[in-house]
């Protein structure tokens, strides 16, 4: 009887210990559950609005003078659009890609705004690689303020700790253009890929700066475009070192509040407080639209030149052979590239930020339009098929929307 009683007490202690551990490590447990669900076809709508429950975060506070877009003439979406001779029903496509927010602006006025799933006007959504375009802006601000003398400088002028890495003597410009020459594997399905090394660092909360310093060189910089998330993380490290303060603080004062952000934006960080610049910004659709509008307007906002106009122009202009859109043997992608912005083609002048799971900040300056699409496409990268990505179909939908507002003969 005493043995049974002793076993019962021991089991009770174990249960209490297990409960205590689950409370102490609740964030880590939730983080593990979330990360292991990615790229499996699992529904992500609950996850992309709960990132602060999974990771350490830092806030960019909303503006004390928030800017509110005015409403324009309401837009009825085109019923269909065509991509590669295949016709898609617009509403079905939005549903198939698990769209959470679609916001369409013309000349700074809202023509269409709708939310689905867990999306909402006041909901901060995980942007994934849309964050890269914001980090690019942070570099531009640091150049504007003289913290970075020139993007022709090697990054190691500002971060001596990278002299033993593949980033030694690599120009900041080459890193901005994802042409650093760093060896990088973005394969989400390969547990040993570089991208999944980032995932492991996120899971453990380990240093993103050390991850940057672990990169090795594969090619001569400035000659080949390879989409490399670690390049953006290197730029995040650069801005922090150059300005001498956390990136989120700098962006809060120099970008977020001047734009009149309606809501806080927050960044995922490692346990040392370094922002996940390659994909960790969470914000509302309207605040992403303000950022995209800033670029549509050449860096000017409400009478203030926040970003230099020449910086914005260079950011969205492929300026070397390896950065040009199309079938390019010097690039691993068919889209063109600027400073952490994509260019779909050489003719339209359009440019876009793109995040996995189908996040978009699409800008068409010639037509005065901005389109924000936030999504949680559950099938993203779950199979090796173009239909598991959907970026190019989405561009076709955007062009149909733009043409419905500004017909091509008028736009020309």
CA quadruple 227, 229, 233, 234: dihedral, nearest 10: -40
- C-alpha 189/C-alpha 182 separation (Å) is 20
Q: Reduce the DSSP state of residue 46 to 3 states and report it.
A: coil
Residue 150 has pLDDT above 60, yes or no: yes
What is the residue-averaged pLDDT of the chain? 93
CB atoms within 10 A of CB 384: 9
H or E stretch covering 301: strand 300-301
List of residues 6+ apart from 136 with CB closer than 8 A: 176, 235, 315, 339, 340, 341
Q: What is the DSSP string of 306-351?
A: -S-HHHHHHHT---SGGG-SSS-TTBSSSSEESSS-EES-SSS--E
Beginning with the edge strand found earlier in the chain, give each strand of the sheet holding 281-283 in spatial order: 57-60, 265-268, 281-283, 125-126
The model's confidence at residue 193, banded by pLDDT at 50, 70 and 90, is: confident
Which pLDDT score, from 0 to 100, does residue 382 have? 86
Which pLDDT score, from 0 to 100, does residue 12 have? 54
Q: What is the DSSP letter of 61?
A: P
Please tell me the least confidently modeled range out of 3-12, 201-210, 328-337, 394-403: 3-12
Which pLDDT score, from 0 to 100, does residue 190 have? 78
The model's confidence at residue 15, banded by pLDDT at 50, 70 and 90, is: very low
- Give the residue among 106, 109, 140, 67 at the shortest CA–CA distance from 302: 67
For residue 197, which phi and psi values (nearest 5 degrees)? Answer: -65, -40
- C-alpha 134/C-alpha 127 separation (Å) is 11
In percent, the amount of the chain with pLDDT more than 70 equals: 93
The model's confidence at residue 187, banded by pLDDT at 50, 70 and 90, is: confident
What does the radius of gyration of the chain's CA atoms come to, in whole angstroms? 22
Residue 411 has pLDDT above 80, yes or no: no
Residue 20 has pLDDT above 50, yes or no: no
Residue 225 has pLDDT above 80, yes or no: yes
List of residues 6+ apart from 206 with CB closer than 8 A: 200, 270, 271
Digit-coded pLDDT (tens) for 248-301: 999 999 999 999 999 999 999 999 999 999 999 999 999 999 999 999 999 999
- Give the residue among 117, 113, 98, 99 at the shortest CA–CA distance from 50: 117
Please tell me the least confidently modeled range out of 32-41, 150-159, 179-188, 276-285: 179-188
Residue 376 has pLDDT above 60, yes or no: yes
């Amino acid at each position: 009887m005493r043995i049974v009683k002793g076993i019962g007490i021991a089991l009770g202690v174990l249960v209490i210990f297990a409960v205590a551990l689950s409370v102490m490590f609740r964030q880590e447990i939730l983080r593990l559950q979330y990360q292991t669900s990615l790229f499996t076809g699992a529904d992500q709508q609950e996850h992309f609005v709960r990132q602060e429950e999974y990771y350490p975060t830092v806030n960019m506070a909303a503006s004390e003078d928030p800017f509110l877009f005015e409403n324009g003439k309401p837009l009825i979406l085109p019923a269909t659009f065509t991509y590669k001779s295949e016709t898609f029903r617009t509403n079905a496509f939005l549903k198939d890609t698990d769209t959470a927010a679609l916001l369409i602006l013309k000349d700074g006025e809202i023509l269409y705004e709708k939310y689905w799933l867990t999306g909402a006007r006041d909901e901060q959504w995980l942007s994934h690689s849309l964050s890269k375009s914001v980090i690019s802006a942070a570099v531009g601000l640091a150049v504007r303020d003289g913290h970075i003398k020139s993007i022709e400088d090697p990054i190691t002028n500002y971060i001596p700790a990278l002299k033993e890495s593949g980033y030694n003597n690599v120009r900041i410009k080459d890193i901005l253009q994802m042409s650093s020459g760093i060896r990088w594997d973005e394969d989400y399905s390969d547990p040993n890929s570089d991208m999944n090394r980032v995932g492991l660092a996120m899971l453990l909360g380990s240093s993103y700066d050390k991850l940057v310093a672990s990169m090795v060189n594969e090619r001569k910089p400035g000659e080949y475009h390879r989409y490399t998330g670690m390049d953006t993380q290197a730029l995040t490290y650069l801005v922090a070192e150059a300005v001498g303060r956390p990136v989120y603080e700098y962006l809060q004062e120099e970008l977020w509040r001047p734009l009149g952000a309606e809501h806080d934006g927050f960044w995922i960080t490692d346990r040392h407080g370094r922002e996940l610049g390659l994909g960790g910004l969470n914000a509302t659709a309207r605040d992403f639209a303000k950022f995209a509008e800033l670029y549509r307007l050449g860096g000017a906002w409400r009478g203030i030149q926040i970003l230099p106009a020449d910086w914005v122009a260079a950011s969205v202009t492929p300026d070397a052979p390896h950065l040009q859109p199309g079938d390019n043997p010097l690039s691993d992608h068919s889209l063109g590239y600027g400073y952490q912005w994509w260019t779909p083609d050489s003719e339209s002048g359009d440019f876009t930020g793109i995040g996995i799971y189908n996040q978009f900040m699409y800008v068409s300056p010639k037509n005065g339009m901005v389109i924000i699409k936030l999504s949680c496409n559950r099938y993203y990268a779950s199979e090796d098929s173009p239909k598991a990505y959907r970026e190019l179909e989405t561009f076709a939908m955007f062009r149909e929307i733009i043409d419905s507002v500004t017909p091509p003969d008028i736009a020309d």
